[in-house]
Amino acid sequence: MNRKFLAALTLGCIGVMACAQPKELKFHEDGSFRIVQFTDTHLDPSTPERHAQAEKTFPRISRIVRTQKPDLIVFTGDVVTGPPAEKMWKRLTDSLDVYGVPYVVVLGNHDSEQNLTRPQLADCVLASKYSLNTKNKAKELADMEIAIKGRDKKPGAALYFLDSHSNSPREDIDGYAWFYDSQVQWMRRKNAAMTASNGGVPVPALAFFHICLLEYIDAWKNRRNPHIGRAAEGECPGAINTGMFAAMVEGRSVMGTFVGHDHDIDYIVVDKGIALGYGRYSGDNTTYNNLRPGARIIDLTEGSRSYITWILEDDGRVVDKVEFSDNKITKRK
């Protein structure tokens, strides 16, 4: 990569970073807060055909954002999956600027397989005043805890955004990478600190990442668990279980995790008091997909260990609307 290209990339991706970031996330006066989860957009400009398919995704994002009026947009990985990636990232962040809605990106396994390093990807994601992402010491996108403030200025809910990494870092272990022990301990510390700051009462929380936990597989197979949705392919979790799910269960705050990665799965299943959910494939025909594209909508209520969620398809159809409450999910009309 030559110096002129690097200079252009730097200007293109971080030229907007001087702008102030959005204010803190807050519940509305009626105690509501809405999240839209897009996943696996697979924006790929590598060929004219794929670029044309990728361009079809932007009107979908626009329709969903404008009709649903979210308070936060979350992209759960495999966002831009073809070169030249930096131009497509700029295309995306420029489009997000129009909506004026805060957003967070967690990377997928394919995002870092393009012509950008992870620090360069972080610069591209942060190239908007509406990005809530931050960098870690390695100058990559950091794992984050974000509180949603209630009307009393105290946290009414918490959101966790985690890097599930890419492929296995070890040649002797096949498959995908896993949460590092440092991340598991970070989750434990953050949960404990948030609970302590709330007078010892766990703050209701959601977690977003790209690759599902190993626990998803057994939870979905266990017919005693209440679950809704479809799995038209097998789950592809990380290769090693390092205890992230246990940390969430023991922390008693996380009430739902939402992932992507597996394009033909959109189910939600409850296990040990946590709803393990997928989003809905949000892209077009740049890669495999057999479900109608759309997004997942999540409505939170301030201070409540409950939420309502559903899949919104491109044509406005609502699919599998459920309420999570009392550690179970119930189908809603």
pLDDT above 50: residue 203? yes
How long a stretch of residues is the chain? 333
Cα–Cα dist 185/197, whole Å: 18
Q: What is the pLDDT of residue 168?
A: 79
Cα–Cα dist 228/209, whole Å: 20
Confidence of residue 227 (pLDDT cuts 50, 70, 90): confident
Cα–Cα dist 159/216, whole Å: 20
Q: Each residue of 39-54: pLDDT tens digit?
A: 999 999 999 999 999 9
Q: What percent of the chain shows pLDDT beyond 70?
A: 93
Q: Each residue of 54-68: pLDDT tens digit?
A: 999 999 999 999 999
Q: Which two tokens stand for residue 328?
A: 């179970």
| Superfamily of structural domain 23-331 | Metallo-dependent phosphatases (3.60.21.10)
pTM confidence score: 0.93
pLDDT above 50: residue 30? yes
Q: Tell me the helix, strand and coil percentages in the chain, rounded to 5.
A: 25, 25, 45
Q: What percent of the chain shows pLDDT beyond 90?
A: 85
Positions of E strands within the chain: 32-38, 72-76, 103-106, 144-149, 155-161, 205-208, 227-228, 254-259, 268-271, 274-278, 294-301, 307-313, 318-325, 328-331
Residue linked to tokens 């946590």: 274
* Cβ atoms 118, 140 nearer than 8 A: yes
Domain residue ranges in the chain: 23-331
Helices (H), the chain: 3-14, 48-55, 57-68, 85-99, 118-125, 181-197, 215-221, 244-251
Least confident range from 18-32, 241-255, 258-272: namely 18-32
Q: Each residue of 100-115: pLDDT tens digit?
A: 999 999 999 999 888 8
